[in-house]
Amino acid sequence: MDSTTLQMLALLRASLAGQKPDPLPATEEEWQKLFHLARKHAVVTMINDAIEQLPADLRPQGDIAISWALSADRTRYHFHHQEKVLADIRRRAADDGLQTVVVKGLSLAACYPVPSSRACGDIDLFFEPREQDAYRRGNALLGNADAQCDGKHAEFLVDGVSVENHYTLLDQNYRSQRRAERYIRSTVKDITPDGCLSPMGNMAYLLMHTISHITAKFKLPLRNVLDWGMFLKANRDRLDPALRSER
């Protein structure tokens, strides 16, 4: 494992688990390399949380320090704006008799020590009850009842935020994913107060979504691996006992 990767992991352990970061970059060039690697893995802001706790003489200096800070500020601003947009969507959906269920990024952010440091690209959601034409009604609420579906979801831009309304959550070409989707949909009755899937439903979705990326040979950023770790840490006591490690 190269030195830049070791530095990234050390700072992530500091940010997410409170461990002393070691090794750290020693030169501006090393900080530059680390910044580009962290950006590739969508963990710049998480690492910035650890940088802010370092003594001044160990932090990056000059232009690269500004790059870290600006990138972190953008991530946090975008996150809070997404929260406001989602709250408005949930309110309007409730007024129309629809239940909004949030998946992926925003539903996982609460598992992190600083939720706004978990970079979220768009808002992924679906509407219930499905048997009452919730998908089309949700599309209308988001701006276009007849929006084009790519086979899984329709995309919208709501107050500058990308929103995906899912008709399906998983690839319906595979029986295992169809079965998983039926299970996930069955857990909607147990969604959390903030509109996220129950721990068991979320775990099933995370597992199948990750498998679909791996089988499609997509390169998963480290953030996706961290999602798993932080999710299991936050929900360990709320998962089916048969799935918990005894160690």
Instruction: Output the six-digit token pair for 247.
Output: 């160690």
Q: pLDDT by residue (tens digit) across 110-159?
A: 999 999 999 998 999 999 998 789 999 999 999 999 998 888 899 999 99
- Supply the DSSP symbol for 246: -
Q: Nearest-CA neighbor of 181 among 194, 167, 162?
A: 167
Tell me the pLDDT tens digit for each residue of 56-84: 999 999 999 999 999 999 999 999 999 99
Spatial neighbors of 13 by CB under 8 A, at least 6 apart, are: 19, 21
- Judge whether residue 220 has pLDDT over 90: no
42: left (phi over 0), alpha (psi -120 to 50) or beta: left
Predicted model pTM: 0.90
Residue 201 — φ and ψ, nearest 5°? -65, -40
